[in-house]
């Protein structure tokens, strides 16, 4: 099958009543994998998470037979995403792992058709980090990208295509708790992201780079940039000023009581909350994701206390680079947008961009208008370097 470039389609639609499912369906539209009408039809048939999984496996198998590798991979990834950790298939294997292998195989078949893209696995702390590389002749500069919470590289490799077309040398790596590192090596996520980032820069001999952290990667990239000055420009895509605080804020008036509970793990109220969380598929899924990704996290109380570590309140004063802070007006984490901007007191420069509903980019990671998002990043890099990478 001849490889065609992924098109970034603009628009955020109501494909499903559930906010989380609707966001995922819009991701598939944004990346040009599905047509709008097909997603409308799929959304109308989904009445549970179990139905989501079954329907996307069925759709993926059909697309695979038709050799539509990207669509099939996306479908298996969609099914894998909402599968509960610990669930088994008919042969007793981890369903989450089986679906992961199926989607990655097809993603790699799709992206493997690009002559300029390659993958290298570099040694790091007794295992390997996969690094996807889009090279080009006479590059304008170097961009390094990574994801965030429960991400896999293949979800975002279209970004490498985009920056390749802009004549940048671009790298995308997975670190602890992500994709292959988690699934093949069982290595959980650590907040100390400077170590894996540094290993990538060391291996390829990279200097004066632009680092882009996606989603929770907005925190992880900030952590890396705070301690590694080979990073000359930092892109928080999006900002994660306070992961825990943003969740508390969304809880409204219940947030203060919940915060009290997280500081009292032996409270009898946890037994009530544990039962409540376990009765809803979404909260059960969310917590099991956390238990699988984070080290030594086994209970809801431990989960919420652990994510307190993912904040840039103190790290921000260590940032001396040019910094681009991105946020969507409707995003959970945007409540701390102004705090994040103000906290970057020692940055060489700070640019903020708050995307709006009118731009169809106000949701998390600007799903709805990825083209606008990437153009914004590329224009900012060009402005800060006058078309050339420069750490001076």
Kindly give the confidence (pLDDT) of every residue in the chain, 392 residues in length, as a single tens digit, with 9 standing for 90 and above. 444 545 699 999 999 999 999 999 999 999 999 999 999 999 999 999 999 999 999 999 999 999 999 999 999 999 999 999 888 888 888 999 999 999 999 999 999 988 999 999 999 999 999 999 999 889 999 999 999 998 999 999 999 999 999 999 999 999 999 999 999 999 999 999 999 999 999 999 999 999 999 999 999 999 999 999 999 999 999 999 999 999 999 999 999 999 999 999 999 999 999 898 989 999 999 999 999 999 999 999 999 999 999 999 989 999 999 999 999 999 999 999 999 999 999 999 999 999 999 999 999 999 999 999 999 999 999 999 875 544 43
Residue 117, helix vs strand vs coil:
strand
Is 387 strand, coil or helix?
coil
Q: 42: which 2 tokens? A: 């799929």
**Which DSSP helix (H) or strand (E) runs through 144?**
strand 142-146
Integer CA distances (angstroms), 33 to 63, 83, 92, in order: 11, 21, 31
CB 83 within 8 A of CB 96: yes
> How far is residue 375's CA from residue 329's CA, in Å, rounded to a whole number?
18
Q: Looking at beta carbons, which pairs linking 49-53 to residues 24 or more positions away fall under 8 Å?
A: 49/82, 49/281, 49/282, 49/285, 50/281, 52/21, 52/78, 52/79, 52/82, 53/79, 53/82, 53/83
Give the contacts of 255 (CB within 8 A, at least 6 positions apart): 248, 249
Whole-angstrom distance, CA of residue 292 vs CA of residue 33 = 28
pTM for this predicted structure: 0.94
DSSP letter (8 states) at residue 84? P
CA-CA-CA-CA torsion sign (69, 71, 76, 78)? positive
Name the nearest CA neighbour of 3 among 73, 59, 55.
73
CA-based R_g, the chain, Å = 20
Spatial separation of the C-alpha atoms in residues 182 and 195, rounded to whole Å? 16
- Domain 19-109 listed as CATH 1.20.1440: yes
User: What residue segments make up the domains of the chain, in order of their start?
Assistant: 19-109, 118-242+311-385, 244-308
Which residues make beta-bridge pairs with 98? Answer: none
Architecture of domain 118-242+311-385: 3-Layer(aba) Sandwich (3.40)
């Amino acid at each position: 099958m001849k490889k065609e470039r992924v098109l970034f389609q603009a628009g955020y639609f109501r494909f499903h009543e559930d906010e989380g499912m609707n966001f995922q369906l819009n991701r598939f539209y944004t990346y040009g994998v599905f047509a709008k009408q097909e997603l409308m039809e799929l959304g109308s048939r989904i009445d549970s998470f179990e139905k989501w999984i079954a329907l996307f496996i069925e759709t993926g198998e059909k697309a695979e037979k038709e050799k539509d590798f990207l669509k099939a991979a996306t479908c298996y990834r969609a099914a894998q995403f909402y599968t509960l950790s610990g669930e088994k298939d008919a042969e007793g294997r981890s369903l989450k792992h089986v679906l992961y292998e199926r989607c990655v195989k097809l993603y790699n078949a799709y992206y493997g058709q690009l002559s300029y893209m390659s993958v290298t696995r570099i040694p790091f702390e007794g295992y390997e980090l996969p690094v996807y590389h889009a090279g080009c002749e006479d590059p304008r500069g170097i961009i390094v990208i990574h994801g965030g919470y429960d991400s896999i590289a293949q979800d975002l490799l279209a970004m490498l295509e985009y920056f390749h077309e802009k004549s940048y040398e671009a790298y995308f790596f997975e670190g602890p708790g992500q994709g292959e590192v988690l699934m093949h090596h069982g290595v959980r996520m650590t907040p100390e992201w400077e170590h894996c980032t540094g290993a990538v820069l060391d291996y390829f001999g990279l200097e004066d780079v632009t680092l882009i952290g996606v989603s929770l990667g907005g925190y992880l990239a900030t952590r890396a940039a705070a301690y590694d000055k080979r990073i000359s420009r930092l892109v928080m895509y999006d900002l994660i000023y306070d992961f825990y605080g943003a969740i508390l804020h969304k809880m409204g008036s219940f947030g203060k009581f919940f915060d009290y509970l997280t500081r009292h793990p032996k409270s009898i109220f946890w037994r009530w909350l544990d039962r409540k969380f376990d009765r809803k598929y979404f909260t059960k899924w969310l917590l099991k994701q956390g238990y699988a990704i984070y080290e030594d996290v086994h209970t809801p109380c431990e989960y919420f206390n652990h994510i307190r570590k993912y904040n840039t309140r103190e790290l921000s004063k260590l940032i001396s680079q040019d910094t681009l802070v991105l946020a969507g007006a409707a995003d959970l984490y945007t409540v701390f947008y102004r705090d994040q901007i103000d906290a970057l007191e020692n940055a060489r420069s700070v640019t903020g961009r708050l995307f709006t509903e009118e731009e169809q980019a106000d949701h998390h990671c600007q799903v709805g208008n990825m083209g606008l998002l990437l153009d914004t990043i590329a224009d900012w890099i060009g402005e800060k370097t006058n078309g050339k990478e420069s750490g001076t």
